[in-house]
Amino acid sequence: MSRRPLIAGNWKMNGLRAEAQELATEIATLRKAQPDGAFDLLVCPPYIVMETVGNAVDGAGVFLGAQTCHTAEKGAHTGDISPVMLKDAGCSHVILGHSERRSDHGESDADVQAQAIAAHAQDLITIICVGETESERESGKALDVVGEQIIGSVPAGATAENTVIAYEPVWAIGTGKVATPDDVQKVHAAIRETLGDKLGQDAAQGMRILYGGSMKPGNAQELLALADVDGGLIGGAALKSEDFWAIAQSCPSI
């Protein structure tokens, strides 16, 4: 089955207004010059520059996403942002369960699943993140940990249309360490198998599974060519338009 690659930039807590405007404008310009490139392009800036970035990429064929969301539609939740607000701000996607949310804010698999259900109710596409720590990998538990996260975080209503999975080994995020292509393919294939058991083969075969963790122009081609890798979730390299674009250009043609 051919799955259209998704190249997603997670800007994390980076980008003042002028920087965000410049980066988003550069990405929009690159995309407009190659509208038929066989990949989807997504930028996920901090909430406070969402409007700036949304305006800059409007009409350019670049999707807009957020980095997390609350489960409620509105109400007394100081500091939180609801899926309804994301939709209203022009978002089509939301990243959920990133390891930095899990570690900095104690988000559990159950929390992530509840967020995903709330986001799907607003027709947002969720990018659900999973990944093992270094000690879990060293003790041979990577596949078990990731399998448990998939079972706990992905809602029963997930489909190939409303859900994307991102495998991000925690030890590879922002460290320059990258999992070997062999290990990445093994984990992605195991994730697809678990998704098949949970959601059925149609959903599992159609669902995109991204790799994230020190993806750069220099290693993207090899990773994106793997059978069960359907794109990338990119942190540091998404903050430079030329690097982000070079990664997109590394997608195999479909």
Interface ranges with ligand 13P (CB under 6 A): 10, 98, 168, 173-174, 212-215, 233-237
Q: How far is the CB of 174 from ligand 13P (least distance, A)?
A: 4
Alpha carbons within 13 angstroms on the beta-carbon side of residue 116 total 28
CB of 153 or CB of 214, closer to ligand 13P: 214
DSSP assignment of 50-70: HHHHHHHHTTTT-EEEES---
Q: How far is the CB of 62 from ligand 13P (least distance, A)?
A: 17
131 backbone φψ class: left, alpha, beta (φ>0; ψ -120 to 50): left
**Which residue, 227, 220, 221, is CA-closest to 191?**
227
CB of 8 or CB of 84, closer to ligand 13P: 8
CB of 118 or CB of 170, closer to ligand 13P: 170
**Which residue, 1, 52, 58, is CA-closest to 192?**
1
CB of 87 or CB of 240, closer to ligand 13P: 240
**Cβ-closest position to ligand 13P:** 235
CB of 84 or CB of 239, closer to ligand 13P: 239
Would strands 231-234 and 163-167 be described as parallel, antiparallel, or unpaired? unpaired
Active-site pick, 107, 132, 136, 168: 168
Q: How far is the CB of 201 from ligand 13P (least distance, A)?
A: 28
CB of 199 or CB of 208, closer to ligand 13P: 208
Burial letters 190-213, b for 16+ CB under 10 A, else e: bbbebbeebbeeebbebbbbbbbb
The verdict on whether 168 is a catalytic residue reads: yes
Beta strands in 16-153, from DSSP E residues, in sequence order: 40-44, 63-66, 93-96, 125-130
Q: Which two tokens stand for residue 34?
A: 């190659």
**Which residue, 154, 182, 180, 178, is CA-closest to 166?**
154
Three-state DSSP at 41 gives strand
Active-site pick, 70, 98, 120, 188: 98
Q: How far is the CB of 166 from ligand 13P (least distance, A)?
A: 7
Q: How far is the CB of 70 from ligand 13P (least distance, A)?
A: 20
Q: How far is the CB of 115 from ligand 13P (least distance, A)?
A: 16
110 CB neighbour count, 10 Å cutoff: 10
Residues known to be catalytic: 98, 168
